[in-house]
Every structure is written in structure tokens, then in C-alpha cells.
Amino acid sequence: MEPTNRSNVSILLVDPESQLRQGLRNALMAEGFRGVRDFSRLDRAEEEIRLTSPDLLVIDAKMPEGDAAGMIRDIRNRKIGYNPFFSIIVTIWNPDPDEVRRIVDVGIDDLLIKPLAPAQLLERIKTQVENRKPFVVTSDYLGPDRRKQQTPTEDEETDRAAGSEIPLIDVPNTLRSKALGEFIDPAALDASIDSAMNDVNEQRLKRHSYQIAFLINLIVPAYTEGAVDPATEVHLARLIEITDEVGERLAESSFEHVADLCQTLIDVVQSIRRDPQNPDPKDVELLGSLANAVLVSFNPEKGSAAVAGEITAMVRKFAARAKADALRTADTR
């Protein structure tokens, strides 16, 4: 990394340990990073992010008064601050697999295990400047592409099973621009962020359409075959969550023309939700009819036979995994 103006880079250090914050701050400033601010509390850091637009956030996973993962998820979904794409590095003392997965799933760029040396952080910053990963969007994830490094989520697994490509999205990297001394035009940055957010919204709707069809293809057979179980209720709850979000996102997308279809889907799902144990059979039948209609509407470049085949592959993959999980559970008894 050959930066020419590190002094313009804005870095937030968030950690409950004052000695560690001071050590990292001193090391960064010694390397020419002048815009370093540090906080011991999550609420103060959140306020700073709302007021300013940092280029890099370095935050401890275990903040005593709040959930760092929750705040990061809100940042990525643009509920906190204006720019959801700035780099985020999380530090953690205990690399428990479940905790690591929980942190990675909210869209971080990197994870550092404590205790850490300042040189490690500087090396990770260099990676963010020179080789930051593009972003991907699924039904339940927005963040840097982690498919080669991490076990995929169920959403990502079903996409792969269907042979469906998840497009990469190039997002603004103000850390790189400032570290390399490039001029950042505020209007151009705003346009770049808005463009990336439009791409995110479009891809989220497409990914949701696959998940909607996938879930419907699990829910409808359970009702028609009289095999409703707790898993069916979980699938229904997820379907409700997704359809609600689709309704919210349509107005900001190029899919406004399918609003009536989506509203019908939302109405049917809500009707089933009122009495999930004994829904109106007509609602269940209509729900089945809506599955492919929704999928084709959000993916017009594909034919109905192609998307039906993809959903079939997704359901088969899910069934095989569920069977394997059941066998493992039986073996441990």
C-alpha cells in the first residue's frame, strides 16, 4: 500500500479496554492516520456513525452495554448512517465457532483474534485498501463475498443447489480512495452509494423471490398431506417476514409492475397466519399457484420451466440435509 494522504482517513476504534484503544490509536497515528477517534461505549459510536461517515470501523464483538453484531447489521442495512458500505473489522477474544459465525453473518469485512498486535491491524487495513472483496446479497445476508471462506447459509446453499448465480456488487470503498490520496467528490460519492443501494435492493428482491418459492414448496405439501409440524410453522414465519419486506422494497425498485401480485401473496400469507393450524384450503391452493408466478415475475429472463427446476433442486437439497441431520441426531442418542 502506497498511500499519499492517510491523514484524511476516518477511523473509529470501539473497545471497552482503554489501554488497547490507546495502543492501537498511537500505532495508527504513527503510520500517518490522523482521523482516529476512539469510544468505549456502543451508543457513543453509533451516534458518531449517524453524524459522520467513517471509512473504517474497528470494533470489539463483546461490548458490555450492547450488541455489536446488531449494530453492524443495521449499518449494512442502512438503518444507521448514510453509507452502509464502509469497511468493518471486528476483534474478538474467544473465537467460539457459533460466535464467529454470528459475527461473520452480519456482513463484516474481517475478523481479528485478540490479543492482537498493531501490526496485524495495519496489515488488515492494507488488505481493505488493496484487495477488498465485492459485496453479495442474499435473502439474509449483505456484505463482502465470503462463500469461499465460510460455510454458506441455508439461503446461499439453496442458491447453489439451484445453480443460481449470486452477482457480485462493487460498492464504494472510501478507505481505499482516501488512503491513496484520491479526491472524493461528495456528489459523486452520494450517487455511487445510491447506485449500489439500488443494486442491493434489486438483488434482494430476486433472492427473496427464490426463497418465497422455496418456502411455499415446503409449506403447501405439509398442509395438503396433513403433515404440518413445528418446522412448517417456522417456514411460514420466515415466509411472512420475507413477504413483508418485499412489500416495503417494491416501491424503490424496477418491479413495481408486480405490486398487485405481491399484495395478493401478502394477503394470502396473512390469511393463513391468522389460523396456521386450520387455514382455508383455498388459501393453501392459491399459495401454491403463486409460487412460480412470483419467481418468474422477478426473474423474467428465465422461463417457468427453468425456475421450476431450480426450486425443485433447492427443495431436494433441503430434504437431503434434513434427513442427514435427523440421522446424526439419532446416532447421538
Q: Looking at per-residue confidence, does 175 or 67 come out higher?
A: 175
Using pLDDT thresholds of 50, 70 and 90, give the confidence band for residue 313.
low
Q: Residue 13 is placed in which grid cell?
A: 476504534
pLDDT of 292 = 83
pLDDT at residue 295 tops 90 = no
What is the tens place of the pLDDT at every residue in 138-147?
888 999 998 7
Using pLDDT thresholds of 50, 70 and 90, give the confidence band for residue 315.
low
Question: What is the average per-residue pLDDT within 293-319?
Answer: 68
Using pLDDT thresholds of 50, 70 and 90, give the confidence band for residue 329.
low
pLDDT of 296 = 85
What is the tens place of the pLDDT at every residue in 215-243?
999 999 999 999 899 999 899 999 988 98
Question: What is the average per-residue pLDDT within 240-257?
Answer: 87
ω into 115 cis (within 30 of 0): yes
Largest CA distance in the chain: 69
Where is 90: in which H helix or E strand? strand 87-92
pTM equals 0.83
Q: Looking at per-residue confidence, does 302 or 127 come out higher?
A: 127
**CATH of region 199-331:** 1.20.120
Give the angle subtended at the CA of 176 by the CAs of 131 and 185, to the nearest 5°.
Answer: 140
* Same fold? 6-134+172-184, 199-331: no
CB 59 within 8 A of CB 88: yes
Q: Residue 12 is placed in which grid cell?
A: 473509529
What is the tens place of the pLDDT at every residue in 258-281?
888 888 988 998 899 888 889 999
What is the tens place of the pLDDT at every residue in 18-40?
999 999 999 999 999 999 999 99
Q: Which amino acid is at 102?
A: R
Question: What is the average per-residue pLDDT within 173-194?
Answer: 94
Least confident of 80-89, 151-160, 289-298: 151-160
Using pLDDT thresholds of 50, 70 and 90, give the confidence band for residue 161.
very low
What is the tens place of the pLDDT at every residue in 79-90?
999 999 999 999
Total residue count of the chain as it appears in this document: 333
pLDDT of 253 = 87
- 6-134+172-184, CATH topology level: Rossmann fold (3.40.50)
Name the average pLDDT for the chain. Answer: 86
Question: What is the average per-residue pLDDT within 293-320?
Answer: 67
Between CA 173 and CA 56 the distance in angstroms is 10
Q: What are the φ and ψ backbone dihedral angles of 60, each rounded to 5 degrees?
A: -80, 140
Q: Are strands 87-92 and 110-113 parallel, antiparallel or unpaired?
A: parallel
194-200, long-range: CB < 8 A, 24+ apart: 196/85, 196/135, 196/169, 196/170, 196/171, 196/172, 197/78, 197/84, 198/252, 198/253, 199/137, 199/169, 200/135, 200/137, 200/142, 200/169
What is the tens place of the pLDDT at every residue in 97-144?
999 999 999 999 999 999 999 999 999 999 999 999 999 998 889 999
Spell out the residues 6+ positions from residue 147 whose beta carbon is closer than 8 angstroms to its own: 136, 156, 166
What is the tens place of the pLDDT at every residue in 188-220?
999 999 999 999 999 999 999 989 999 999 999
Nearest one of 191, 11, 223, 193 to 84, comparing CA atoms:
193
pLDDT of 108 = 97
pLDDT at residue 173 tops 70 = yes
pLDDT at residue 10 tops 50 = yes
pLDDT of 7 = 87
pLDDT at residue 57 tops 90 = yes
pLDDT of 3 = 45
Between CA 4 and CA 178 the distance in angstroms is 9
> What are the extents of the domains in the chain?
6-134+172-184, 199-331
